């Protein structure tokens, strides 16, 4: 059996990608307690205050090290786990576990779940309903936003979410496999 895990073939990559998209479409996001991206955020939130420093050079260096540490904490175990699964269990298990892990790096269904209701509310002229849904995708207070600013906030969030939650994980999967998509999510 080959010793590389990134990936065995184009067929394996397409299977992993297709199964991951199917999982996303059917199940959406895993619960927060099981979601690696949530775990990454928790680790970063815990470590970030510890690297604060009055010296900007030291703080930037610590920030880079924090980024590398988080990548190592999450992507390296994925790499080694998939290597072991591929070597000792086999191709089918490797593809399934890869697809499940890859799915956690993107969120197509989630994006639709929160953005389509905003568009539907705006189409119906219900800005109050749109403002109630908006906090699921933006951090600013929507209560003072007019229609144009609601649309602007939603479009900006959709654009950023598409890059962070869909196209970038797909790109890193294409060039670095599942560990690459996981490493991207830890940024």
- HSE-CB for 80 with a 13 A CA cutoff: 5
SS3 for 30? coil
- Average pLDDT, rounded, for the chain: 92
118 closest CA partner among 163, 157, 167, 144: 157
Q: Is 36 part of a structural domain of the chain?
A: yes
Q: Is 148 part of a structural domain of the chain?
A: yes
- Tell me the average pLDDT across 157-164: 94
Q: Is 3 part of a structural domain of the chain?
A: no
Q: Is 162 part of a structural domain of the chain?
A: yes
Confidence band, pLDDT 50/70/90 cuts, at residue 139: confident
Whole-structure pTM value: 0.87
Q: How many CB atoms lie within 10 A of CB 183?
A: 22
In terms of Cβ atoms closer than 10 Å to its own Cβ (0-12, 13-18, 19+), residue 33 is exposed
In this prediction, residue 29 carries a pLDDT of 95
Q: Is 1 part of a structural domain of the chain?
A: no
Q: Is 2 part of a structural domain of the chain?
A: no
Decide: 107 and 21 in contact? Cβ < 8 Å.
no
pLDDT at 2 over 70: no
In this prediction, residue 8 carries a pLDDT of 66
% of the chain exceeding 90 in pLDDT: 87
Q: Is 156 part of a structural domain of the chain?
A: yes
Q: Is 40 part of a structural domain of the chain?
A: yes
100 alpha-carbon distance from chain centroid: 13
SS3 for 166? helix
Sign of CA dihedral 94, 96, 97, 99: positive
pLDDT at 1 over 70: no
99 closest CA partner among 164, 26, 41: 26
Instruction: Show the domain range for 142.
Output: 10-185
* Residue spans of alpha helices (H) in 48-185: 56-84, 91-103, 108-123, 127-133, 147-162, 168-185
- Tell me the average pLDDT across 95-108: 97
pLDDT at 5 over 80: no
**Number of folded domains in the chain?**
1
């Amino acid at each position: 059996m080959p010793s590389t895990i990134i990936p065995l073939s184009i067929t394996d990559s397409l299977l992993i990608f297709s199964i991951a998209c199917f999982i996303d479409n059917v199940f959406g996001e895993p619960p927060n307690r099981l979601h690696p991206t949530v775990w990454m955020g928790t680790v970063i939130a815990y470590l970030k205050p510890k690297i604060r420093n009055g010296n900007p050079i030291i703080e930037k260096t610590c920030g880079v090290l924090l980024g590398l540490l988080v990548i190592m904490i999450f992507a390296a175990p994925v790499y080694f786990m998939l290597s072991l699964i591929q070597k000792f269990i086999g191709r089918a298990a490797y593809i399934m576990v890869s697809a499940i892990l890859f799915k956690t790096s993107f969120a197509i269904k989630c994006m639709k779940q929160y953005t389509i209701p905003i568009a539907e509310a705006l189409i119906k002229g219900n800005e109050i309903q749109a403002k109630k849904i908006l906090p699921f995708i933006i951090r600013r207070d929507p209560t003072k936003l007019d229609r144009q600013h609601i649309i602007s906030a939603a479009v900006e969030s959709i654009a950023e979410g598409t890059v962070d939650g869909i196209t970038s994980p797909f790109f890193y999967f294409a060039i670095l496999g599942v560990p690459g998509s996981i490493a991207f999510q830890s940024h």
